Structure 1
């Protein structure tokens, strides 16, 4: 199997796509390193993944703690930067600190971890680094200005990193999920930085985390540089092709969507 015996580090592994990836890598025979904030949740994921896992819990934005954590991790064959947080608020209503928080979690944290793991891979002449971005890293969407900014930045960094390290034996993959039914919408930050909480969201209609994990592992095993993840024929996945094929049409479509969202959630509608 492609991942048998490899040391695979998954961040944000306590739920959602991260937990599903841990289970899938465990079934594939990988030696797991699992990170997240909630130790009991990580322990449950480790057990579901077969028990062959080392837990390295940490707060994603605690950059100063990372050097020691990376040293404890030891050899890493595949790093999957999965931890992240989303947003549900209009730009005009959003506190500036919310943007800082999203950028710290979704962009600066995975960059910091990658920079610490990368040297060992370059020294060995092989390794694989992956980052879970989003369709929002390709397409601007209402109520997600901060999330889109962070995921666009993430895509840019890892696409650029690939140009520097691919010829030195290190693969770089970006993962582009559409709608996956995870708690990400419930935990999304609102205008004042508090979690959104329960409520209907289009993400809830997406594929399961296990389906997403299967697509991701297949893409990683093939060395795919960009891995789209979503329902075949899904509207959000079609936007990726539309961005390349008809960008002006995409902008028109998203502007209409934005107008409907502002009419529903904007101050004038309150």
Structure 2
């Protein structure tokens, strides 16, 4: 029989002290390991991530600077034709492109209003850029003969056109069933046939020079249709299709085509709209009053032209979502448009 003495085994207090010591050593080693890892992370952040971040910001800033310089060189001294330049977006585009140093040709139906715009631009001085007194050409886009004569006058006066901005247009309000065909024709003549007639008249000279830029001010309604805007939406759909085709066909001649599709703009477009019987609508819609300012959209047009963008959608969240909804979920889009038509009918009836 073997007798085990109590002293042969450590006491409970000694075991506890030993275990506590081991735990302290383990935690100390973990802490030191974490400290090392933290130090390595800080070294990686300071030596790699931060320099990479600042480098990316610097590259982006340099890219924007080069982009701005290229845009400035592209627009300086460029001959720019703007239709519908007497008011609204056309007038604001005239201000923006004039300030950029372009040689403007302002087009419209009212000679006195065109001269008023010229007078306003003449009072604006730009110490950083040389500005030029605009030239004016009076004609009606809905009259094809006057459009062709205007193109000849522009080329005769300035020799060539660098940038053509097809801005002039007319809006429409009315039900399809009540709209006389002459109203549909009037809207199409102004919004579609007029701009493409002017484009076709100036295009050969651009092809000959292998240089030019054609801009179409379309609309969100060139992508989607909303109730009681049939003639207007149809004309803008046609505009979108024509200039998309043109872009593909003239790329071989180094000619750029840009389509701008604004949403609601604070202009007199709705007030000057024609109705189903051809009379003036005479009301500024709530959506129009809450839209973007013409000056804001004009700046977008200037930047889009300077950067040679192919297409720009200038609209709020709802119209932009509607464009995508029309393509991704057409059944829901059609249902929403039907509900909108019902609400508008009720509002007019009350």
TM-score by length of 1: 0.94
CA apart distance, 1:219: 1.0
1:49 aligns to 2:132 (yes or no): no
Confirm or deny: 8 A CA contact 1:22 1:46 kept in the other structure.
no
Confirm or deny: 8 A CA contact 1:185 1:201 kept in the other structure.
no
2:26 equivalent in structure 1: none
- Cα distance in 1 for partners of 2:299, 2:322 equals 22
Any idea what SS the aligned residue of 1:60 has?
A: coil
CA apart distance, 1:242: 2.5
CA apart distance, 1:199: 4.3
Confirm or deny: 8 A CA contact 2:78 2:163 kept in the other structure.
yes
User: Equivalent of 1:38, from 103, 110, 115?
Assistant: 110
Confirm or deny: 8 A CA contact 1:138 1:240 kept in the other structure.
yes
Any idea what SS the aligned residue of 1:73 has?
A: helix
- Larger CA Rg, structure 1 vs 2: 2
- State the number of aligned residues: 265
- Cα distance in 1 for partners of 2:188, 2:80 equals 25
Confirm or deny: 8 A CA contact 2:148 2:197 kept in the other structure.
no
1:242 aligns to 2:314 (yes or no): no
1:150 aligns to 2:235 (yes or no): yes
Confirm or deny: 8 A CA contact 2:268 2:284 kept in the other structure.
no
1:161 equivalent in structure 2: 246
Confirm or deny: 8 A CA contact 1:88 1:144 kept in the other structure.
yes
2:148 equivalent in structure 1: 67
Q: Which runs of 5+ in 1 are unaligned?
A: none
1:106 equivalent in structure 2: 191
Higher helix share: 2
CA offset digits 1:78-119 (Å, max 9, x no partner): 000111000111111211111010011111000110000000
2:260 equivalent in structure 1: 175
2:214 equivalent in structure 1: 129
CA offset digits 1:91-149 (Å, max 9, x no partner): 11211111010011111000110000000000000100011110111111111000011
2:59 equivalent in structure 1: none
User: Equivalent of 2:162, from 67, 73, 77?
Assistant: 77
- Cα distance in 1 for partners of 2:121, 2:326 equals 37
Any idea what SS the aligned residue of 1:171 has?
A: strand
Any idea what SS the aligned residue of 2:270 has?
A: helix
1:255 equivalent in structure 2: 338
CA apart distance, 1:236: 1.9
1:211 equivalent in structure 2: 296
2:77 equivalent in structure 1: 5
- Cα distance in 1 for partners of 2:330, 2:336 equals 10
2:89 equivalent in structure 1: 17
- Structure with the larger RCO, 1 or 2 (CA within 8 Å, 6+ apart): 1
Confirm or deny: 8 A CA contact 1:24 1:49 kept in the other structure.
no
- Cα distance in 2 for partners of 1:239, 1:5 equals 39
CA apart distance, 1:201: 3.2
- Cα distance in 1 for partners of 2:332, 2:251 equals 34
Confirm or deny: 8 A CA contact 1:189 1:195 kept in the other structure.
yes
Confirm or deny: 8 A CA contact 1:6 1:78 kept in the other structure.
yes
